[in-house]
């Protein structure tokens, strides 16, 4: 039974203070678990040894939560020492289903598929857990994938050699000077083929060759920038887009893409300038209008942001994502009726928008109707358990309904999933108040 936000533990079977896996035993367990998914991730035996050796160790005190229910932790846990209780069911009435001892593992589905946790794990005794992170597994798999793609690229280059030779012969036959820009068409085409075939490393190498062959053509650098942006390497993406801009100062694509970089980095004023420049060079691009609206919204220029969202909708088919952005802007501008109407319209186009349901719940809270907010916020979390604002507003709803244990659970989830530091600060403030209430309740 949950009390004051903490699960009550049954008495441990045995403290098992001296029971601890040796490094060799831990390696054997991890090797066995990875053996089931090695083919899926294209791992080699040496990769298994590396991953087992680089697992992250954490210690937990008795009663401490190791993994809350519903969190996408993306990891496999190995119990090295101690006992771990596995609870299922609602936080208010958890049910103990099993006790994990040293050598037990949990989270295979979280590691292999990124699934959320289906149970709450809590330390019964002092525990040591080693975690194998999905991100480490992905990085290793990416490395192996890059090796295969490089091999595929080499085979492709060999196969393309005849085509390139034929092109050169044709140019000579027509008495045309073999332009480096013309030659760059071959690796550009190869890069596009690699993208369509999901060979990312091959695409990067091909576009790099094209950029070297045709230094006056902005397209290879635009392609390279998009590649780096999609892979989260913002400095490399910015460098590539700036190179494209230097080659073609009037390229709207370069300005739009640089705007995306600035917006991702939180440099919204620079992003606004870049998007406005892109629209000056090429008016009527719905995506750029939407991008400009987002940056204006981030700087609280709500009226102007709404104008650009409306322009984006007028230029293209109604987009659910643009409508959600508009709805959030209306909410932040305290235009609650318009916010609800726009969010509802977005849901008519896409009923799986966690942001839209979160906004409807937030508006219900503004109207002092927390009981009405609950279904929308719970639906938002069911659609996207990693969306921090939904957990935050759910915490506010439970707090307003005087359900502190449920509010604490929601705010703790918000703290785990929120990416915005302003939101995290608000969550900590509410949690501090609730923890104090719980302590006072225990004292009485």
Here the CATH number for the domain that contains residue 64 is 2.60.120.10
Which pLDDT score, from 0 to 100, does residue 9 have?
41
Report d(CA 270, CA 222) in Å as an integer: 19
This prediction's pTM: 0.58
Task: Give the neighbor-by-neighbor strand order of the sheet with 75-81.
Answer: 56-60, 127-133, 75-81, 105-106
The last residue of one of the domains, among 121, 139, 157, is: 139
Same domain, 414 and 367: yes
- Residue 66 is given by DSSP the state E
Asked whether the predicted pLDDT for residue 295 surpasses 80, the reply is: yes
For residue 387, tell me if it sits in a domain: yes
Residue 154: inside a domain: no
| Torsion sign over Cα 266, 270, 274, 279 | positive
How many domains in the chain? 3
Q: Same domain for 340 and 363?
A: no
State the residue for tokens 């490395």: 143
The confidence score (pLDDT) of residue 440 equals 77
Please indicate, yes or no, if residue 225 is contained in any of the structural domains.
no
Which phi and psi angles does 283 have, rounded to 5°? -70, 160
Which has the minimum average pLDDT: 41-55, 62-76, 263-277, 387-401?
41-55
Q: Are 106 and 85 contacting, i.e. CB atoms less than 8 angstroms apart?
A: no
Q: 384 and 334 in one domain?
A: no
Same structural domain, 325 and 362 = no
List pLDDT tens digits, range 299-344: 999 999 999 999 988 887 668 899 999 999 999 999 999 999 999 9
Alpha-carbon dihedral 326, 331, 335, 337, rounded to 10 degrees: 80
Tell which of 317, 351, 385 closes a domain. 351
Do 301 and 429 lie in one domain? The reply is: no
Is residue 177 assigned to a domain?
Answer: no
pLDDT at 4 over 80: no
**Rounded mean pLDDT, 65-87:** 88
CATH code at 366?
1.25.40.10
Residue 177 is predicted with a pLDDT of 44
Given CA atoms 150, 153, 159, 164 in this order, what sign does their dihedral have? negative
Q: Are 228 and 260 in contact (CB under 8 A)?
A: no
Residue 148 lies in a domain: no
Q: What does the pLDDT look like over 181-226, one tens digit per residue? A: 545 565 666 666 666 666 666 676 776 777 776 777 888 888 888 8
Q: Kindly state whether residue 204 falls inside one of the protein's structural domains.
A: no
Model pLDDT for residues 332-382, shown as the tens digit of each residue: 999 999 999 999 999 999 999 999 999 999 999 999 999 999 999 999 999
Within-domain flag for 182: no
Phi-psi category of 183—alpha, beta or left, where left has phi over 0 and alpha has psi -120 to 50? alpha
Model pLDDT, residue 111: 82
Residue 11: the pLDDT is 37
* CA–CA distance, 392 with 415 (Å, rounded to integer): 8
User: What residues make up the domain containing 254?
Assistant: 250-351
Q: Is 69 helix (H, G, I), strand (E, B) or coil?
A: coil
Q: Is the pLDDT of residue 27 over 90?
A: no
Residue 133: exposure state from Cβ atoms within 10 A (0-12, 13-18, ≥19): middle
Examine residue 105 and state whether it is found in any structural domain, yes or no. yes
Q: Domain check: are 30 and 71 in the same one? A: yes
């Amino acid at each position: 039974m949950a009390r004051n936000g903490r699960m009550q533990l049954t008495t441990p079977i045995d403290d098992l203070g001296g029971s601890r896996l040796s490094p060799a035993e831990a390696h054997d367990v991890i090797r066995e678990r990875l053996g089931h998914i090695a083919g899926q991730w294209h791992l080699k035996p040496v990769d298994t040894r590396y991953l087992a050796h680089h697992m992250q160790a954490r210690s937990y005190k008795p009663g401490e939560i190791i993994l809350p229910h519903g969190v996408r932790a993306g990891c496999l846990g190995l119990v090295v020492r101690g006992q771990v209780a596995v609870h299922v069911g609602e936080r208010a009435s958890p049910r103990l289903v099993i006790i994990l001892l040293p050598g037990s593992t949990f989270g295979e589905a979280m590691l292999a598929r990124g699934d959320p946790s289906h149970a709450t794990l809590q330390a019964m005794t002092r525990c040591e857990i080693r975690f194998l992170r999905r991100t480490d597994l992905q990085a290793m798999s990416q490395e192996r994938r890059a090796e295969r793609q490089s091999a595929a690229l080499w085979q492709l280059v060999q196969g393309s050699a005849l085509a390139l030779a034929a092109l050169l012969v044709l140019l000579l036959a027509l008495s045309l000077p073999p332009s480096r820009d013309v030659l760059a068409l071959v690796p550009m085409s190869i890069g596009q083929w690699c993208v369509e075939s999901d060979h990312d490393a091959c695409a990067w190498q091909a576009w790099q060759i094209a950029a070297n062959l045709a230094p006056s053509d902005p397209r290879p650098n635009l392609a390279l920038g998009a590649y780096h942006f999609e892979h989260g390497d913002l400095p490399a993406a910015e460098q590539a887009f700036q190179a494209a801009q230097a080659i073609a100062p009037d390229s709207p694509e370069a300005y739009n893409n640089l705007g995306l970089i600035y917006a991702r980095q939180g440099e919204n004023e620079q992003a606004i300038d870049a998007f406005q420049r892109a629209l000056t060079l090429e008016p009527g691009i719905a995506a750029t209008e939407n991008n400009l609206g987002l940056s204006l919204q981030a700087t609280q220029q709500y009226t102007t942001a709404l104008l650009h969202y409306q322009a984006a909708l007028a230029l293209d088919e109604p987009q659910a994502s643009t409508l959600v952005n508009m709805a959030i802007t209306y909410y932040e501008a305290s235009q609650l009726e318009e916010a609800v109407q726009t969010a509802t319209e977005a849901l008519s186009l896409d009923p799986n928008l966690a942001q839209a349901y979160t906004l409807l719940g937030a508006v219900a809270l503004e109207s002092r109707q927390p009981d009405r907010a609950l279904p929308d916020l719970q639906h938002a979390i069911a659609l996207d358990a990693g969306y921090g604002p939904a957990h935050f507003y759910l915490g506010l709803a439970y707090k307003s309904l005087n359900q502190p244990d449920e509010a604490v659970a929601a705010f703790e989830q918000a703290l785990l999933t929120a990416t915005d530091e302003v939101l995290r600060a608000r969550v900590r403030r509410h949690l501090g108040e609730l923890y104090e209430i719980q302590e006072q309740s225990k004292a009485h």
